[in-house]
Amino acid sequence: MNNALYKLVYISRNQIQGNAITLRAEIEQILATSRVNNLKSDITGALMFNAGCFAQVLEGPHDKIQETFETIQCDTRHAHTCILVFEPIAERSFSKWAMAYHGNDSNAALQFSDITLKSGFDANQLNGEHIYDLIKEHLLSANLSI
């Protein structure tokens, strides 16, 4: 068992089809499930979404993150998950949130759109720490509910 505190940052491509209402309903469902499960698993973090991609930060005990990420990776609502950062941390950045959220029209998500577009969604060109900082800066100072 490895219970040291870690953070994981990944990006993925949205596979949810349909209009804005369907999309919103699916994301609300993801957040509701995440908030219940993550609390039980001692995981905190944040999810960001733009029209095409998700970026998520998970913080918590190493083994719990691995377990949760394995489930997330199998979810057909997204694909091409790519881990950008997985490293030990001294403390949590999102300690108050089982899963914070920033959607489509937020400033952070717009900047995230820009970054992913410019990279051509090439993981080698994406800087995980940059995406992490973006989520952190904007989420910590914003109103966080969907």
Residues that bind ligand FMN (CB under 6 A): 30, 33-34, 37-38, 47, 54, 56, 68, 71-72, 75, 77-78, 99
Token digits for 89?
A: 């941390």
DSSP state letter for 108: H
Nearest to 61 by CA among 4, 1, 10: 4
Residue whose pair of structure tokens reads 């993981």 in the numeric block: 123
Q: Could you tell me which of 63, 69, 59 has the C-alpha nearest to residue 7? A: 59
**Of the two residues 12 and 138, which places its CB atom closer to ligand FMN in the complex?**
12
User: Tokens for 11?
Assistant: 């990006």
In angstroms, what is the minimal distance from the CB of 33 to ligand FMN?
A: 5
With respect to ligand FMN, which residue has the nearer C-beta, 23 or 99?
99
Q: Give 12 or 115: the residue with its C-beta nearer to ligand FMN.
A: 12
Shortest Å, Cβ 43 to ligand FMN:
7
CA-to-CA dists, residue 80 to 53, 68, 140, angstroms:
10, 17, 27
State the nearest-atom distance from the C-beta of 29 to ligand FMN, in Å: 8
Q: How far is the CB of 58 from ligand FMN (least distance, A)?
A: 6
